[in-house]
Structure 1
Amino acid sequence: MSKKSRKKSSKTSSGSPTAKTKTAKTRASTQARSAKTQRTPASKSTGTIAKAGSHKAASKQLKSSKSASPPAAAKPGLAEGQKAPAFRLPRDGGDVVTLADYAGRKLVLFFYPRADTPGCTREAIDFTRLADAFAAAGTAVLGISADPLKAQEKFRDKHKLGVPLISDERHEMLEAYGAWGQKSMYGKSFLGILRTTILVGADGKVARVWRNVRVDGHADEVLEAARSL
């Protein structure tokens, strides 16, 4: 083939419409694949971040919902004139005490939060000091808390207490007499023993109720109420 013929053939081949079309398609395909490759990691990364953010939001919402739950409500307390609820519980010394044991007699029930704490100790000592005066008024006195018997007996012996101490570890009597309810300390709410005193008349009905008791002078006030029945 002559030089002139080869130049003409080369020019015809490279400059044909078919060759130009193929070259353009190839270039477009390459650009599309390159763009897709660049987009894919960004898309996956965005999806991962979205999922993580969603999980964190759900966790915060769950925590907030849990911490906002209020403590369980306590049973309403007794009102004056109602019949005193029956009870049967162990007392210091190993005996069992029931409401029926005091039928026909006046009865003072003082509920205290915890044995051998300052306020509870002063209250128990005051009722012990007035034990003879209560007996003269035909009135028995019982102290009640959720402490186990060993703690009650240690409390009795340490302070030479002269009133029976009842152990209500299951809170049955405490709830029945409205001495179990919501309390707060250091900004936190919880259920516990509310310092309460109940005076039961000889007819078995609630004669007086003292709630949120202040210890100083309280035993003397209860004695006067018992004498007036």
Structure 2
Amino acid sequence: MVKTSLEIGQSAPHFCLSDQEGNRRCLEDFSGKWVILYFYPKDNTPGCSLEAKNFSCLRKDFEAENAVVLGVSRDSIESHKRFVEKKELKIKLLSDEQEDIHRTYDVLHPKHFRGKEIVSVSRTTFLINPEGKIARVWDNVKATGHAEKVLSELRILKEKGQ
């Protein structure tokens, strides 16, 4: 099972990426908030659509917990814009076409597909606390029920004062 090398307690790596509206979004823009930063393989695919829709449905619950949800993929800004419109998403999607942030967060891993080795995105979610530290990591995420698990864990961590 492939895992990121980033660990709980370390500072979340800096990022600045454009969202589906072309606005630059940087980690420091969300200082004082919890950040759910989730990496997914591709816009408009079944699992990625389910995950994005689930996070969108819970957006107000995350906002009530002082949290923002940011999805990241290698798709273009235009692809994100179409994806958001088609699926009526309520979250921000960040474009990392150059894969810089994917590499920084260590979510690109080789896998075998039809007899060839390809580099693929390992569906991974990071929960970053208001101080910019990684509070929780989910590797090899299954889309079904994931947004609910993240919300539940966020509430538990907040209750514990972490």
TM-score w.r.t. the length of structure 2 is 0.92
Which structure is higher in strand share?
Answer: 2
Q: Does structure 1 residue 179 correspond to structure 2 residue 118?
A: no
Deviations 1:9-39 (A, max 9, x none): xxxxxxxxxxxxxxxxxxxxxxxxxxxxxxx
Partner SS for 2:43: coil
| Contact 1:91 1:165 survives alignment (8 Å) | yes
Q: Where do 1:215-226 residues align within 5 Å? A: 215-226=143-154
Task: Pick from 43, 68, 72 the counterpart of residue 140 of structure 1.
Answer: 68
Deviation of residue 194 (structure 1)? 1.0
1:124 pairs with 2:42: no
Q: 2:123 aligns with which of 195, 218, 227?
A: 195
SS, match of residue 221 in structure 1: helix
* Residues 30-179 of structure 1 mapped to structure 2, 5 A cutoff: 77-179=5-107
Q: What is the count of residue pairs matched by the alignment?
A: 156
Residue 139 (structure 1) shift: 0.8
Q: Is the 8 A contact 1:75 1:176 kept in 2?
A: no
Distance of 1:151 and 1:139 partners within structure 2 = 25
**Residues 88-108 of structure 1: CA deviation (Å, up to 9, x unaligned):** 111111100000001111100
State how far apart, in whole Å, the 1-side matches of 2:145 and 2:16 are.
30
More helix by percentage: 1
> SS state of the match for residue 20, structure 2?
coil
Q: State the Cα distance separating 1:190 from its structure 2 match.
A: 1.3
Pick the structure with greater CA Rg: 1
Offset at residue 177 of structure 1 (A):
1.1
Q: Which has the higher contact order (CA 8 A, sep 6+)?
A: 2
Provide the alpha-carbon RMSD of the alignment.
Answer: 1.5
- Name the aligned partner's letter for residue 16 of structure 2: R
The Cα offsets for residues 138-192 of structure 1, whole Å up to 9 and x where unpaired, read as 1110000000111010000000000000000011111111211112222322112
Distance 1:86 1:179 in 2: 15
Once the two structures are superposed, residues 106-158 of structure 1 have per-residue CA deviations (whole angstroms, 9 ceiling, x without a partner) of: 10011110000010000000000000000011111000000011101000000
TM superposition score normalised by structure 1:
0.66
Identical residues among aligned pairs (%): 39
SS in 2 for 1:84: coil
Displacement of 1:75 in angstroms is 10
Structure 2: runs of 5+ lacking an equivalent: 158-162
